Each structure stands twice: as C-alpha cells, then as structure tokens.
Amino acid sequence: MAKLHTLQNIGQSSWLNYMCRPFIVSGGLRESIEKGIVGITASAAVFENTIRNDVAYDQDIRMQIMAGTPTTRIHEVLMADDVQRAADMLHPIFEESKGLDGVASLEINPALADDCVGIVATARRLLARVDRGNAMVEVPATTACTEATRALTVDGINVNVTHIFSVSVFERIAQAYISGLETYFKTHSVWRTTPTSVASFSVSPIDRVVDERLEEIGRPEYKGKTGLAMARILYARYREIFSGPRWAALAARGARPLRPKWTRLEAWDEGRLLTIYVDALIGPDTVVTFTPDLLDSFLDQGRVATTLERNSEEAQKHLEIIADLGIDLEELTEDLQLAHLQAADKQYQALIASVIQKLVTEMPDYS
C-alpha cells in the first residue's frame, strides 16, 4: 500500500503545497491524488514564478485587461480559477470523506494581517468568485485576525489559519474557532456540511532560530529538538481542547475539530534527513503539508509509523531546559510570526508585480 494511503489509515491527511495551472492541467495534481494527496494549498511564490517564466496565464491576463479588471486584481482571478480547477478534481475526496478533506486553499493578501474587517471581506469576496464548497481560505493567526477566524467560521467557511509558531497562539485560535462553531449552529437551522478547518503550525523555522541561540550560548547538544517538542505539546493541547462537554455538544451536531496541520517541514540543517519532521509527526487527526520535493523524499525514504504521541514527557522536559537556558520561546515565536508575515507580504506583492511586469515587457499589444 502506498505510504500516503497508510498515513490516511492512521488518521493523518496529506496535503500538497503546490498549485499552479501547468501542474493542474498537465495531470500532475491527478497523479498526486492517486498517490494519496487529499488537499492542496496555494503559494504566492509558485504563482509568481509561473507567471514570470511560463505562458500558461498569458491569455487570461490579456482577457482580464480587455475586461477592465484592475491590474492589481488580475492575480486574484488567476488564483481563483486554479482553485476552482483543483477543487473540482478533489471534490470526490471531499464527498467520500464527508467534507473532512478534498479541499483547495486560497491565499489572501498578507498585507491584511492586521485588518480583521479587510480579511473577512476579502475572504467572502474571493470565495464567492470561486463558488466551491470545498474551497478554503487562509487567515493569518495574528491577534487582529482571531476575530476573523471566528467570523468566517460563523459563516460556515473553511479556514486555514496560518503563521502559527506557538502553542499559546494555537490555543487562542482554537477557542475562537469553537466560539464561531457555537454561533454557527445557533444561527443556521439548516446546513449541508460544517466547516473543515486547520491550524498550520510551522516547525522547521523554530529550530532554525532556537538552534542559532543554542550555538551562541555553547549548548549545541539541544539543537534540532525544539520544533518537534512544541508540536507534540500543541497536539496534546489540541486533544484536551477538543474534548469534554463543551466540545461533545458541538461534535454531536457534526462539528469538526481544528486539526493541527504541520507545515514548513523541510529540515533546514543539511546534515539532517530531509523527512525528519514528517517521520516524527505522524498521528491521527492531523494534516501534513508536503512540498513536491519533500513528498518525493518521503515516498522514497520516509518511515510510516505512529510517532506523534511518543516522548511527550521528553518534549516537555526539553522545553523546560530551553527556558532554563534563558531562551524566551514566546518572545522568539512572536518575532518569527512577524518576520514570516513580512516575508509573505513581500512575496505576495512580488506576485502582483509579476502580472504588471508581464504586461509591460512581454504583452505590450493586448488591445
């Protein structure tokens, strides 16, 4: 049996972080689905690279210019169309899983990360364009967007909460999600499916910054352990939050928990096995996010076994050691979130610029 299908039997869903027109129309997504991929997320970097270096979107860009679409909105049209195509291909999985998987996730401009009203309005507008029940929208886990998570959940919208680097942020978002579900059931007397939402926890970047601190203070023996330790503690909190009477009342009405989605899983240290994080984070009721390269490596040399709940006591002990060494993980992860949001914003603006550059340099006669 294929490795990804074995993960599915364990209870872990495999999603791919790679969406673009050539990949979809060439059969790449279909082949990935056959291997066991059950969801897909978008990346501004992939879209930008494809627009700059491929002709796949050229005709659509010309058509949007002729239709009067503002140049700063054309990329949204292109992305929405790709999400539609991907969602249609994944729809059988969405149906078979009763709405748990089979989703296509759409990225929102990270410049709105501190604008709750803007995030909610943009999400509603883009999802109305996509018009697919198995589409999902990405919302950053900033303090400002906690209410956005709740508001979109009240609407019954599938949310991928991104840029989570700490357990405390996950807890805050999880409570907002639960509150949103409670309102959703109170205000919707009839519903087809309840939201299927995920919380994207970034693993490798945590090790990168913590390991640098450990090198500085001369304690390299603790390197490469913090990201996994935090993921294990987060999973334990997830199991606690999504249990008990409050959650049982929602689950009885068909509510789905906010599953942890492990992302940014490539080992940053070249001396480590590329699949080290994936191998260590296999467990039920979770999602693992693969890049194409990581997927190939996992299919080639990854080890399939339920590993997520192992060594939970050691994980807690490691985090205590890190704190004793004077490394403030809360401060560090706040800085990480800010840095990654700034990088995401820069990349997204580069995506918008790629459309304009294409028009200026390669398609001057679009009238």
Q: What is the pLDDT of residues 218-258, one digit of tens each?
A: 999 999 999 999 999 999 999 999 999 999 999 999 999 99
> How many angstroms separate the CA atoms of 36 and 24, rounded?
16
Q: What is the pLDDT of residues 131-176, one digit of tens each?
A: 999 999 999 999 989 999 999 999 999 999 999 999 999 999 999 9
What string of DSSP letters covers 111-134? GGTT-HHHHHHHHHHHHHHH--TT
The residues facing 142 across adjacent strands are none
> How many angstroms separate the CA atoms of 90 and 82, rounded?
12
Tell me if 230 sits within 8 A of 193, measured CB to CB: no
Please give the mean pLDDT across all residues of the chain. Answer: 94
* Predicted pLDDT at 39: 98
* Predicted pLDDT at 267: 83
* Predicted pLDDT at 366: 46
* Predicted pLDDT at 280: 96
Task: Write down the domain spans for the chain.
Answer: 3-361
Name the H helices within the chain.
3-10, 21-25, 28-35, 44-53, 58-66, 74-96, 116-130, 146-154, 167-187, 204-216, 226-241, 244-251, 276-280, 292-301, 312-324, 329-361
Q: What is the pLDDT of residues 280-291, one digit of tens each?
A: 999 999 999 999
Q: Residue 58 pLDDT > 50, yes or no? A: yes
Tell me if 153 sits within 8 A of 197, measured CB to CB: yes
Q: What is the pLDDT of residues 258-275, one digit of tens each?
A: 999 999 998 877 767 889
The residues facing 200 across adjacent strands are 261
State the average pLDDT over residues 33-45: 96
CB atoms within 10 A of CB 356: 14
* Predicted pLDDT at 272: 77
State the average pLDDT over residues 297-305: 93
* Residue pointed to by tokens 């999802």: 127
Tell me if 333 sits within 8 A of 165, measured CB to CB: yes
What string of DSSP letters covers 169-208? HHHHHHHHHHHHHHHHHHH-SS-S-----EEEEE-HHHHH
Homologous superfamily of domain range 3-361 = Aldolase class I (3.20.20.70)
State the average pLDDT over residues 164-189: 95
